[in-house]
A and B are shown apart, each in its own frame.
Chain A
Amino acid sequence: MKNWIPAATGLVAGALAATVFFADFSSGPSGSATNENANKTNAEKVYVPYGEHDDYYMLSSGGHSGQLFVYGVPSMRKLRTVPVFTPDPATGYGFDDATKKMLGGFTWGDFHHPAISETDAEYDGKFVFANDVANNRIAAVDLKTFHTADIMSMPNMGGPHAGTFVTQNTEYIVMPTRFSRPLGGDYASLDQFEEKYKGIVSMVKFDQETKKFDLGYQIMLPPWSYDLSDAGKKVSGDWIVMTTYNTEFATTNLEINASQNDRDYIVLLNWKELEKKVADGQYEEINGAKVIDPTKVKGSIYAIPVAKSPHGVDFTPDGTRFIASGKLAPLMTVFSFEKAMEAVKNEDFTDEKFGIPVLPYDKVMEREVDPPGALGPLHTQYDDKGNAYNTMFISSEVIKWKIDTGEIIDRTPIHYSPGHSSAAEGDTASPDGNWLVSLNKIAKDAFLSVGPSHPESMELIDISNDKMELVYTNPVDPEPHYAQIIKADKIKTIPIYEKDEKRPNSVWSQEDTRIERKGNEVHVYGIAMRSKFIFDAKSKRPDELTVKQGDKVFIHLTNIDLDQDITHGFGIMDYNLNYEVQPGQTNTLEFTADKAGTFPIYCTNFCSALHQEMSGYLLVEPK
């Protein structure tokens, strides 16, 4: 009966010993996840030590550089410049065959507004779309590789400034024109502006499998200028809103003449309704585009008067309201989508312009917010607590206010003249409410001087508390307009291009390398590997390429180093040619060997040890 005593004592002693040896005596969770920034200094908030990564990517437009700038937030470190509309010798973009064709001879673009692809009104991190205001193009950057996947030209447009905005499931990328223009860019005297000039909205589709654009349809609008737009969310998901200016139809000195009317318009468009009608064949084919006149489709277009020359118009995260920024009228106007729909239902129209029913401002407007002394509101972003953030270009500040009441919560000075701002996941259905980056036009005295023209600047603002806190300022090349900030884990990049033996023109082993001549065309099927080029493994000098003057040369090069970051470049001296092959990639360089002589070839992208030795010769025999 007393047997249990030693057994029990043993068990107790064992448990005790285990507790002593293995127990965790630290004071429980540190709570760092709950309010990470609460006790940090500003310097600590932006410091991301080696071995850790930023929480967010910021995809920023590069303006007239035609590039995409990729930043990390909160460190504000620039991660990469991605060429989109502009050739880039550093990556061979616009030099190799595929990207050269894609650029179509253009050497610049003007990229204003990035739009990350969305699913259920949330960024899905698959693609980012870009507008070229200068040359009427749209581009898609694949976020698996951060390479531009496709570029498409859009006919009938006058600069898609009011894009790029995606509908909530990326059904369409909305690209409204800035300048009105005769269709097809035809000649027409400016005296015929009202009759001959048109404002066009391109509704672009993108196939995520083939990575190709397709112009869905175009909407023909009055010759107003369209400034910015946004697609609705949830209840307003079928609708697009756009701001207009120059409803005066000024054809000269727009600064003065397009600023005369006290009211311009916000245009509301039902893209779903129009899509149906286009599918039913209710369109006119103009210069290869299916163009629909919305005034002929009842219920598809309305206008709402809005304070003078507005810039941004942005749907709230829940999609029930949209907020216009006055620009020339120093106020933000909150419109109710539901009230607009009610006016539509009751056919409560005050007027008609170009066949577009005009909704009553007083009934659709919910609130005007006019912070004292605030001038030049441009653009609205949101947090997760029902607040809106507006950049004020002229009074150089960001204003935080409550959407429900219009109450001003805080104001913070900006250095200087902010255009757009971007909040973390700030134009999705669920903003994160921790960071806001103000994209500023003027830096002036903020940094060491680099001459008369200064860099632009970005300012990081902590918005996690009622009071905003300006945390960090950094310089940036010209010129970000809008940016989007997406959670880092939503973007899934590939480490290398997969080996694909069926890929056209690819070669994966030294024995298969060869040079083939077809008439005056010379095709090189070569490989780049550390640390050599092999054009023909069987020849006396595998890295020598001899052609005749006037030959058309195609260098198909595959990088067979399937090792992350081992990128090889390929430059030809005096031929103004350079391109690259990333690990596992095949790229073709095409040129005419019109200069006779001896031209060294070398690896331009520092690949690995003995990169300096990675070279060869192009010999062009004179005619």
Chain B
Amino acid sequence: MSKKLSIGSMLSLIIAAALLVTSMFFPWWGMKFYAPQYPEGLDIIVYPYTLAGDIDIVNGLNHYIGMTEFSNESFPELPYMKYLVIGLAFIILLIGLLRRKKLLYVGIGLFTIGGILGIYDMKRWLKKFGTELDPKAPIELDPFVPPIIGENTIANFVTNSYFTTGAFILGAAFICTLIPLWLERKK
């Protein structure tokens, strides 16, 4: 017979669900490009459902090294991300309302798996864009894989990849999902 979760745990899970939904309104990840002639930097900004920033300019520059153009259409998962995040938020909200401890583990599990898959997906795309360069490109470059976090140098560009606001909110949501574990620990 599973124990009921406490009111504190319930609140924590409701907050987690709210944060999850909130995170979608903020960018999750970004990459900033600097070059001598772009001292102000060019931006790629990734929301869970769309790309933003100087996508056209970056594409224009990337064609020199034969990188595939990217846009919302080149990432088939983008249209589904919204539903995945809302779905996860709904599940966590439901767990909070049902207040069943066993389900809590399921929620934490789903969240963890989702996070790992997300990072794997990003890594996969970064590798694909950086290594599958058009051999006919005017400027030949060794294949490269930009890091998910941190600095990289490609030709005249120094890139900086970083998680941002949305990802931090996502992190906070995860912590809120974990808090019940601590609250419900055996005394």
Residues on A facing B (Cβ under 8 Å): 529-530, 561-563, 566, 609-610, 613
Kindly state the separation between the CA atoms of A563 and B35 in the bound complex, as whole angstroms. Answer: 14
> Does A563 contact B138, Cβ atoms closer than 8 Å?
no
> Does A561 contact B60, Cβ atoms closer than 8 Å?
yes
A46: shortest Cβ distance to chain B, in Å? 25
Contact among A562, A609, A610, A613 for B56, CB-based, below 8 A: A562
Q: Count A-B pairs with CB separation below 8 Å.
A: 18
Kindly state the separation between the CA atoms of A610 and B64 in the bound complex, as whole angstroms. Answer: 9
A562-B57 contact, Cβ under 8 Å, with A609-B64, A610-B64: yes
Q: List 15 A-B contacts (CB under 8 A).
A: A529-B60, A530-B60, A530-B63, A561-B57, A561-B60, A562-B57, A563-B54, A563-B56, A563-B60, A566-B60, A609-B64, A609-B138, A609-B139, A610-B64, A613-B138
B58: shortest Cβ distance to chain A, in Å? 10
Q: Which residues of A contact B57 (CB under 8 A)?
A: 561-563
Q: Which residues of A contact B139 (CB under 8 A)?
A: 609
Kindly state the separation between the CA atoms of A529 and B69 in the bound complex, as whole angstroms. Answer: 14
B41: shortest Cβ distance to chain A, in Å? 13
A590: shortest Cβ distance to chain B, in Å? 28
Kindly state the separation between the CA atoms of A562 and B139 in the bound complex, as whole angstroms. Answer: 22
Q: Which residues of B contact A561 (CB under 8 A)?
A: 57, 60
- Closest chain B residue, CB of each to CB of A499: B56
Most chain A CB inside 10 Å of its own CB: which residue of B57, B60, B63, B139: B60
Kindly state the separation between the CA atoms of A566 and B60 in the bound complex, as whole angstroms. Answer: 11
Residues on B facing A (Cβ under 8 Å): 54, 56-57, 60, 63-64, 138-139
Kindly state the separation between the CA atoms of A514 and B139 in the bound complex, as whole angstroms. Answer: 29
B2: shortest Cβ distance to chain A, in Å? 46
Q: Which residues of A contact B60 (CB under 8 A)?
A: 529-530, 561, 563, 566
Kindly state the separation between the CA atoms of A414 and B60 in the bound complex, as whole angstroms. Answer: 52
- Closest chain B residue, CB of each to CB of A562: B56
- Closest chain B residue, CB of each to CB of A530: B60
Q: Which residues of A contact B63 (CB under 8 A)?
A: 530
Kindly state the separation between the CA atoms of A562 and B58 in the bound complex, as whole angstroms. Answer: 11
Kindly state the separation between the CA atoms of A362 and B138 in the bound complex, as whole angstroms. Answer: 80
- Closest chain B residue, CB of each to CB of A563: B57
B86: shortest Cβ distance to chain A, in Å? 32
Kindly state the separation between the CA atoms of A426 and B54 in the bound complex, as whole angstroms. Answer: 41
- Closest chain A residue, CB of each to CB of B56: A562
A596: shortest Cβ distance to chain B, in Å? 33
**Top-9 shortest CB links A-B:** A563-B57, A561-B60, A610-B138, A562-B56, A530-B60, A609-B64, A563-B60, A529-B60, A562-B57
- Closest chain A residue, CB of each to CB of B64: A609
Q: Which residues of A contact B64 (CB under 8 A)?
A: 609-610
Kindly state the separation between the CA atoms of A58 and B138 in the bound complex, as whole angstroms. Answer: 43
Query: Beyond the given A563-B56, A563-B57, A609-B64, could you list 15 further A-B residue pairs with CB under 8 A, ordered by the A residue number?
Result: A529-B60, A530-B60, A530-B63, A561-B57, A561-B60, A562-B56, A562-B57, A563-B54, A563-B60, A566-B60, A609-B138, A609-B139, A610-B64, A610-B138, A613-B138
A28: shortest Cβ distance to chain B, in Å? 32
Q: Which residues of B contact A610 (CB under 8 A)?
A: 64, 138
Kindly state the separation between the CA atoms of A563 and B38 in the bound complex, as whole angstroms. Answer: 10
Kindly state the separation between the CA atoms of A279 and B138 in the bound complex, as whole angstroms. Answer: 66
Kindly state the separation between the CA atoms of A529 and B60 in the bound complex, as whole angstroms. Answer: 8
Kindly state the separation between the CA atoms of A562 and B54 in the bound complex, as whole angstroms. Answer: 9
- Closest chain A residue, CB of each to CB of B155: A609
Q: Which residues of B contact A562 (CB under 8 A)?
A: 56-57
Kindly state the separation between the CA atoms of A530 and B64 in the bound complex, as whole angstroms. Answer: 9
- Closest chain B residue, CB of each to CB of A566: B60
Kindly state the separation between the CA atoms of A613 and B64 in the bound complex, as whole angstroms. Answer: 12
Kindly state the separation between the CA atoms of A263 and B63 in the bound complex, as whole angstroms. Answer: 73
Kindly state the separation between the CA atoms of A562 and B61 in the bound complex, as whole angstroms. Answer: 12
Kindly state the separation between the CA atoms of A360 and B63 in the bound complex, as whole angstroms. Answer: 77
Kindly state the separation between the CA atoms of A561 and B59 in the bound complex, as whole angstroms. Answer: 10
Q: Which residues of A contact B138 (CB under 8 A)?
A: 609-610, 613
Kindly state the separation between the CA atoms of A529 and B62 in the bound complex, as whole angstroms. Answer: 13
A565: shortest Cβ distance to chain B, in Å? 9
B149: shortest Cβ distance to chain A, in Å? 27
B38: shortest Cβ distance to chain A, in Å? 9
- Closest chain A residue, CB of each to CB of B42: A563
- Closest chain B residue, CB of each to CB of A565: B37
Most chain B CB inside 10 Å of its own CB: which residue of A530, A563, A613: A563
Kindly state the separation between the CA atoms of A529 and B56 in the bound complex, as whole angstroms. Answer: 11
Kindly state the separation between the CA atoms of A566 and B37 in the bound complex, as whole angstroms. Answer: 12
A248: shortest Cβ distance to chain B, in Å? 62
Q: Which residues of B contact A566 (CB under 8 A)?
A: 60
Kindly state the separation between the CA atoms of A530 and B63 in the bound complex, as whole angstroms. Answer: 9
Kindly state the separation between the CA atoms of A313 and B60 in the bound complex, as whole angstroms. Answer: 55
Q: Which residues of B contact A530 (CB under 8 A)?
A: 60, 63
- Closest chain A residue, CB of each to CB of B139: A609
B140: shortest Cβ distance to chain A, in Å? 13
- Closest chain A residue, CB of each to CB of B138: A610
A400: shortest Cβ distance to chain B, in Å? 43
Kindly state the separation between the CA atoms of A59 and B60 in the bound complex, as whole angstroms. Answer: 35
Kindly state the separation between the CA atoms of A377 and B41 in the bound complex, as whole angstroms. Answer: 53
Kindly state the separation between the CA atoms of A477 and B56 in the bound complex, as whole angstroms. Answer: 40
B36: shortest Cβ distance to chain A, in Å? 13
Kindly state the separation between the CA atoms of A530 and B138 in the bound complex, as whole angstroms. Answer: 12
Kindly state the separation between the CA atoms of A530 and B139 in the bound complex, as whole angstroms. Answer: 14
Kindly state the separation between the CA atoms of A561 and B56 in the bound complex, as whole angstroms. Answer: 8
Kindly state the separation between the CA atoms of A225 and B64 in the bound complex, as whole angstroms. Answer: 62
- Closest chain B residue, CB of each to CB of A532: B63
